[in-house]
Structure 1
Amino acid sequence: MSDNSENPRSGAAGRTAAVIPAAGRGVRLGPGTPKALRPLGGTPMLIHAIRALTQARAVSLVVVVAPPDGTEEVRAALYAHPLPDDAVEVLVVAGGENRQESVRLGLAALPDTVDVVLVHDAARPLVPVELVDAVAAAVRGGRPAVVPALPVPDTVKEVKPGEGGEPEPVVATPDRSRLRAVQTPQGFDRATLAEAHQRLADEPGEGATDDAGMVERLGAPVVLVPGHQEAFKVTRPLDLVLAEAVLARRRATDGF
């Protein structure tokens, strides 16, 4: 029998849980099924994301935040695509009107034994398990907020928004070497993330779309770790084509 003190899931030093906000409708992928439940290789994207998180050594609980009227639909997808018998527990809770509120509701569903939280986009179904564990390990190492990221390959222009379809004037060209494209899962000390959501809950607007950005506004340090090319976000139809190709390669080479 193995020593539980060496198992990241044992709870000896606190538990790590993942929250998946999946309450969005994803209109850019077209009408119909909510984006998180769009099929990828015959399996909903959300199920792929859940599998990656439950296979990570660090994660002991996954909370899926479903559309307010879609919890049964998500539970049905889990029933139709069962996880391995040794998979960690998965809870499904109802989300809110925007991503920020959904993450807050996911945090509220976590037991007190959880002290590290990973927040992961359902629309990043092919995130490698190794990246999940790397983010969790960096938080365990004492960082209050950890974000996986990749260098930006293209030159980026800052513009003044145009009106009525007019060309947009360029106002600056940021130094590309200092820019990074962030991914998920983003990892946090639970107390830090909970404070950010509590303090910024009543701000006007449509809510934050980046939890690390909320932590930055508290003045807490946020660090980046290397991301992964396959942790890309499926937002538009062409992204879904790429995801299908990556999944087909994995199945052919790894038996995924």
Structure 2
Amino acid sequence: MSDESRPHRTAAVIPAAGRGVRLGPGAPKALRTLGGIPMLIHAVRAMARSRAVSLVVVVAPPGGTAVAEVRRLLDEHALPERTEILVVPGGETRQESVRAGLEALPADVDAVLIHDAARPLVPVDTVDSVIEAVRGGAPAVVPALPLADTVKEVEPGMPGEPEPVVATPVRARLRAVQTPQGFDLATLLRAHEKIAVDGEGATDDAGMVEQLGVTVVVVPGHEEAFKVTRPLDLVLAEAVLARRRATDVY
């Protein structure tokens, strides 16, 4: 079968190798439970609910028995049978883990979503809108929401000390970016090959693509696709999940 006639696939990569220290001591963030189910499982299900996603790659912590443990966790929970699930070891940074997930993709994948395991409640309509924009020709797509608060740019100081304001960006031009972020796979691979980020590495794949000079477009995000980072976020996520279950939406 020629490249032109071969069906193309969309995959999702979920880096789940971080510890999520801001949620406090305990299990890694992706394994914290939400409604009695690990957030990672919610995130995998959120990607698999899209019929356009045929493969989900979960990137586990590096070393030891982490891959086997994550695989066992996935096997313990019901997931859509039509969706293939792979588990691969990650790296020391998020950027390294995303790259490990990309390298695990088969040759027939040409579009990829990168999704935070800590955004367990993203609706399928948001996932589908990102995929539709990529399939429509956009090399990079992010879901995002307008900001409710005015934002100040400051000169960072010592913790606890007053910080001088240096600018007030125009709020109408700002967006709070969510995931999944969608990409033409070749474009994202090029970004990971060419953009070297020191220290903790890149935390925003779309930002790496921007550095290539490639246009990133925004589609509407959703208020329930928030990131569970702090204990209060977990309380809110539990409330959203309880409402969904009560109304048979979940």
Same fold (TM over 0.5): yes
Q: After superposition, where does 1:127-146 map in structure 2 within 5 Å?
A: 127-146=122-141
- State the partner residue of 2:239: 245
SS in 2 for 1:254: coil
1:173 aligns with 2:178: no
1:80 to 72, 76, 81: 76
| Aligned residue number for residue 8 of structure 1 | none
Query: 2 CA distance for matches of 1:204 and 1:98?
Result: 10
CA–CA separation in structure 2 for the residues paired with 1:43 and 1:164: 36
Which portions of structure 1, spanning 4 or more consecutive aligned residues, are displaced by more than 3 angstroms?
none
Match of 2:229 among 218, 232, 235: 235
2:164 matches 1:162: no
Residues matched between the structures, number: 244
Find 2:183's aligned residue among 182, 188, 193. Answer: 188
Seen in structure 2, the aligned counterparts of structure 1 residues 28 and 14 have a Cα distance that, compared at 3 Å, is same
Residue 255 of structure 1 and its aligned partner are, at CA, apart by 5.2
1:94 & 1:35 partners in 2: Cα distance? 17
Are the structure 2 counterparts of residues 255 and 150 from structure 1 closer, same or farther at C-alpha, using a change threshold of 3 Å? closer
Question: Per-residue displacement from partner, 1:103-151 (whole Å, max 9, x unpaired)?
Answer: 0000000001000000000000001011111101100000000000000
1:212 is aligned to: 206
Distance 1:199 1:36 in 2: 29
Residues of 1 paired with 2:18 and 2:69: CA distance? 14
**TM-score using structure 2 length:** 0.95
| CA shift for structure 1 position 88 | 0.4
State the shift of 1:20 in Å.
0.3
Contact 1:135-1:148 at 8 Å conserved across structures: yes
Query: Which residue in 2 is equivalent to 1:3?
Result: none
Instruction: Read off the aligned partner of 1:52 and give its amino acid letter.
Output: A
What value does the CA root-mean-square deviation take over the aligned residues? Answer: 1.2
Q: How far did 1:165 drift? A: 2.9
Alpha-carbon contact 2:142-2:180 (below 8 Å) kept: yes
Correspondence for 1:198 among 179, 193, 206: 193
Work out whether residues 11 and 55 of structure 2, in 8 Å CA contact, stay in contact via their aligned partners in 1: yes
Query: What is the deviation of 1:57?
Result: 1.5
- Assess if the C-alpha contact under 8 Å between 1:55 and 1:87 holds in 2: no
- Tell me how far apart the structure 1 counterparts of residues 226 and 20 of structure 2 sit (CA, whole Å): 15
Task: Determine the C-alpha separation between the residues in 1 that align with 2:14 and 2:106.
Answer: 16
Structure 1 residue 120 corresponds to structure 2 residue 134: no
In 1, Cα distance between equivalents of 2:45 and 2:79: 7
Q: Which runs of 5 or more structure 2 residues have no equivalent in the other structure? A: none
What is the Cα deviation at residue 210 of structure 1? 0.1
Identify the residue that residue 148 of structure 1 maps to in structure 2: 143
Aligned pairs for 1:12-31 within 5 A: 13-31=7-25
1:57 is matched with which residue: 51, 70, 83?
51
Cα deviation, 1:176-235, whole Å, max 9, x if unaligned, reads 11000000000000000000001124x422200000000000000100000001100000
Letter in 1 for 2:239: A
CA-to-partner distance for each residue in 1:161-183, whole Å, 9 max, x for gaps? 11253211111111111000000
Aligned to 1:89: 84
1:72 to partner: Cα distance: 2.0
Structure 1 counterpart of 2:67, one-letter code = T
**Structure 1 position 13, deviation (Å):** 4.2
Over the matched positions of the two proteins, sequence identity in percent amounts to: 75
Partner of 2:215: 221
1:105 and 2:100 correspond: yes
Consecutive unaligned residues of structure 1, counting only runs of 5 or more, are 1-10
Cα deviation for residue 12 of structure 1 reads 5.3
Q: C-alpha distance in 2, partners of 1:213/1:100?
A: 12
